[in-house]
Amino acid sequence: MKKVKKLICTIGTGSYEKVTYTFGERRKETRLAPVAIGSFITGEEKGLELVALLTQGARDKYRDGLRSEAAALGWTCTPVDIPDGKSEAELWEIFEKFGEHLKEGDEVVLDLTHGFRHLPALLLSAVQYYAARKRIKILGVYYGAYEARDESNNVPIFDLTPLVDLPEWSYGVRLFSDYLLPKLLAEMLKNIQRRSHQPGSQQKFSRLQKVASALRDLEAPLASGIPLEAGFEAHRTLEKARSAEAEEELSHLAPLRGFWEELEERLESFALPEPKVPKGDKPKKGVILTIEELERQAHLVDGYLAISDLRAAATLMRELIVSAVILHTQNPKRWLEGEERQRAERRLGVIASWNRGASQLKKLLSKEQQELATLWDQVRERRNALAHAGMREDMVKFDAQVMRDLHDRIERNLATPSFWNTEVERKDERWLVSPLGMTPGALYTAIVQESPDHLFIITSQKAKQKVGEIRTEAGREDLEVSCLILDDPFNGFDEAREKVEEALKEHGPCWAAAQEVIVNRTGGTTCLGWAVERIEAALRRDLGLEPRTVACIDRRDPEEQRKRPYVRGEVIDITERGEEE
């Protein structure tokens, strides 16, 4: 779409005398202010369209003169008939006539010098309205101050453009302060710098564009609820703002004076400090997890809740809980690594499951852990509903006050290590979980090498008869033994599935409170081994434990093993470390 530069003015019926209009160092002698203003704005540029809003009286008196002066400057002149504006209906007619001669993308200069006294107010409002509706670009608003002429009849041209910007400033400040959307402010700063380089401007800005660019880059991470990226961009924007304040005189422009301090305060509230990382490294590696960093992110949540952006708030609240658990109970240096965060999430999921599940497991949780588990469940539930766009049968509830209450509980406890502890109090006990077939050597080696306090075996009724002998040979008659008996140790997979679930209900609280659980994968039939694997998986998944997995090895030949089964073999640690993390 071709951009057209238009100068819109009104002309009255008064007798305008020839004066010298001045704009900075520029001078133009003429009776009509729009001729001077157009000359000052365009310089030697041709192609300006002069749109003159003329009453019948003004048309008869000045139309031909306007056309001749415009033609001499290489402009076109478009007279537009308007009523006198002596009634409300006529004012609205002028408003519509104004808009009829504006096309999308037009670049507009507005002259308010001549015409009825009430017309400037109407045209100021109209140009703002059509700037929004038709996407026109306001290059400037000017007024020839005849009353301020000097003894030599020099009349200054005043730049009133900032007055047009005031509603936009108000809206832009509100968008940023109330809704965390800084892009409109960025456009305002960009326009101020651009206009400051137009002919006649008393002060030229050179750094506002850099602040504007940084503000535009800040909007996406800030509006998306991404706290670290938003923190980096806020830091960069704050540096640009301080640089502009230090090197440019902002006090000459009233909207900037009060706004600049508020802008810097707002940016400081969620800006990250300069990351200290080697050049070329990932900036996030320089972000240290501290109470202060958690509080900075919590402040962002406050902002999202204030504007009812519940999705961003719930998402960040969930991550705040995970980060707090890592800070107080895990390795804060690895807080952004996926494995470290998943470990914290698993532990939170486990205590949440215990809290809403079997009473025996719930009893292992302290009062604070029960509160944390409930908090995790409530935040996670709301975050999931919002993150998945409400794709579920139940209606999503938008209860902002509940969200604020949940966030208050998070904020209150950020500096309380005990609140974020997901580990239950452990008893000084070690359990060995093992299969037992008709060959006792593997279990014997596991007992001798690991010295457990309790033994849980998965076996058959026939093989169970060897348990007493194994304990005696190992010198562990004191060893407490629990058994899961399979009627069919070869094909009883369905039976094993049911009995493993029963064993978890019965022994789960004991395993959860144990100092260590060792799982022996060797010995017995395939079905017995499969049952042991299901128990091990449940220890990790449902109880949040990190059992140590071992294999017992006897390097003698099979005949020798049958003759002398009770010989200590080797224990090899085969724990899958990826699963632990």
- What are the residues facing 520 on neighbouring strands? 550
- Reported confidence tier of residue 116, pLDDT bands at 50, 70, 90: confident
pLDDT at 346 over 60: yes
Q: Which helix (H) or strand (E) holds 60?
A: helix 56-72
Contact call for residues 373 and 355 (beta carbons, < 8 A): yes
Matching CATH topology for 5-159 and 427-580?
yes
The pLDDT value given to residue 294: 97
3-state DSSP assignment of residue 139: strand
Q: Is the pLDDT of residue 253 over 70?
A: no
Residue 323 binned pLDDT confidence (cut-offs 50, 70, 90):
very high
Q: Which of 90-94, 281-285, 353-357, 530-534 has the highest mean pLDDT?
A: 530-534
Q: Please tell me which residue, 450 or 166, carries the higher pLDDT value.
A: 450
Q: What is the mean pLDDT of residues 297-320?
A: 94
pLDDT band at 284 (very low <50, low <70, confident <90, very high): confident
| Per-chain mean pLDDT for the chain | 90
Closest by CA to 349, choosing from 388, 375, 316, is 375
- Residue ranges in 248-331 assigned as alpha helix (H): 254-270, 291-306, 310-329
Residue 329 reports pLDDT greater than 60: yes
Domains of the chain: which residue ranges? Answer: 5-159, 177-186+198-277, 288-420, 427-580
**Range 182-208 average pLDDT:** 80
Residues of the chain by 3-state class (helix, strand, coil), percent to 5: 55, 15, 30
What interhelical angle do 208-224 and 183-196 show, nearest 10? 170
Encode 455-470: b = buried (16+ Cβ within 10 Å), e = exposed: bbbbbbeebeebbeeb
CB 406 within 8 A of CB 379: yes
Tokens, residue 477: 């008659």
With 60 as the cut, is the pLDDT of residue 581 above it? no
pLDDT bin (cut points 50, 70, 90) of residue 580 is: very low
Mean pLDDT for the stretch of residues 234-247:
88
Has domain 427-580 been given CATH number 2.60.40.420?
A: no
More confident residue, 193 or 218: 218
Output the pLDDT for position 476: 96
Q: In terms of DSSP H, where are the helices of 134-226?
A: 161-179, 183-196, 208-224
* pLDDT at residue 84 is higher than 70: yes
Q: What is the pLDDT of residue 555?
A: 94
Average pLDDT over residues 357-383: 92
Of 53, 368, 308, the C-alpha closest to 179 is 308
Local confidence band at 108 (pLDDT 50, 70, 90 cut-offs): very high
The bridge status of strand 137-144 relative to strand 154-159 is: antiparallel
338 band by pLDDT with thresholds 50, 70 and 90: very high
Is residue 1 predicted with pLDDT exceeding 50?
no
Whole-number Å distance between alpha carbons of 64 and 464: 117
CB 476 within 8 A of CB 447: yes
Statement: residue 275 has pLDDT above 70: no
Q: What is d(CA 534, CA 540) in angstroms, rounded to the nearest whole number? A: 10
Q: What is the pLDDT of residues 476-514, one digit of tens each?
A: 999 999 999 999 999 999 999 999 999 999 999 999 999
Tell me, which fold does domain 5-159 have in CATH? Rossmann fold (3.40.50)
Q: Rounded CA gap, 521 and 434, in Å? A: 7
Q: Give the dihedral sign, CA 242/246/247/252.
A: positive
Tokens of 536: 């091990």
Q: Which two tokens stand for residue 265?
A: 């305060």
Q: Among all chains, which residue has been given the structure tokens 């939170």?
A: 348
Residue 9 pLDDT greater than 70, yes or no = yes
97 vs 115: CA distance, rounded Å: 15
Q: What is the mean pLDDT of residues 430-452?
A: 97
What does residue 179 show for φ and ψ, rounded to 5 degrees?
Answer: -125, 5
Question: Any idea what DSSP says for residue 376?
Answer: H
Q: How far is 188 from 263, CA to CA, in rounded Å? A: 14
Q: Give the DSSP letter of residue 252.
A: T
Q: Which residues contact 472 (CB under 8 A, 6 or more apart)?
A: none
Query: Which range is least confidently modeled, 173-182, 428-437, 563-572?
Result: 173-182
Give the total residue count for the chain: 581
Interval 6-27 mean pLDDT: 89
* Residue whose tokens read 């050179």: 206
Do 30 and 36 touch, CB atoms closer than 8 A? yes
Q: Which residue has the tokens 């056309």?
A: 67
Q: Flag whether pLDDT at 527 surpasses 60.
A: yes
